[in-house]
């Protein structure tokens, strides 16, 4: 059965975006580029909210940008055809290989888990991930912890006051100081 994963870059104080929505604090280099490419290869479908969907639209044409390094061109080539499900109350249409969700998050995940095919069901975006976590739907959490304190913003973790024990699957410290952590929810 397909696993549901939540992966985001996060500041050391636990935020995925600054108070103004900025992401300019994140650590990103060639070493992390390779990790990100390896991660996207594992994904069979990506679920996201409106804000993340809109910020990721740049990747629909990024493969045409000659300034992209090899790893990011490779990532773009995998991302663009990847099936995406967008959860939004305001969008009326989406582009590329995306569709608007027609069911609740739990129903969409249940349907996707039952479909044949490989790859994980990736959740992007803290708000959507918080809903999935509250429903107990996330099987793995991955954090790419940047060595910076940003003081506030959108938190990586939901604050639903529910305890979730985790098992460490992988950890790695990159030369940049970024710490890569992957945890599994024991079932």
pLDDT, tens digit, for every residue of 29-72? 888 888 999 999 999 999 999 989 998 998 888 888 888 888 88
Q: Which domain holds residue 123?
A: 4-184
Report how many domains make up the chain: 1
CATH of the domain at 130: 3.40.430.10
Which pLDDT tens digit goes with each residue over 82-124? Answer: 999 999 999 999 999 999 999 999 999 999 999 888 899 999 9
Q: Which residues in 26-132 belong to E strands, given as ranges?
A: 43-49, 84-87, 98-100, 120-124
Q: How many angstroms separate the CA atoms of 54 and 148, rounded?
A: 25
């Amino acid at each position: 059965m397909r696993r549901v994963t939540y992966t985001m870059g996060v500041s050391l104080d636990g935020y995925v975006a600054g108070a103004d929505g900025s992401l300019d604090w994140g650590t990103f280099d060639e070493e992390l580029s390779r990790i990100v490419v390896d991660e996207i290869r594992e994904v069979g479908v990506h679920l996201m909210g409106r804000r993340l969907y809109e910020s990721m639209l740049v990747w629909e044409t990024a493969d045409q940008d000659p300034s992209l390094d090899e790893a990011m061109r490779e990532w773009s080539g995998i991302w663009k055809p990847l099936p995406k499900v967008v959860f939004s109350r305001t969008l009326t249409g989406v582009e590329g290989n995306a569709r608007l969700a027609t069911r609740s998050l739990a129903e969409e995940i249940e349907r996707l888990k039952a479909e044949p095919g490989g790859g994980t069901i990736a959740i992007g975006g803290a708000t959507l991930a918080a809903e999935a976590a509250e429903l107990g739907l996330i099987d793995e959490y991955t954090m790419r912890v940047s060595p910076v304190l940003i003081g506030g913003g959108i938190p990586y973790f939901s604050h639903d006051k529910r305890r979730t024990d985790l098992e460490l699957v992988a950890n790695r410290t990159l030369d940049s100081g970024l710490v890569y952590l992957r945890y599994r929810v024991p079932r």
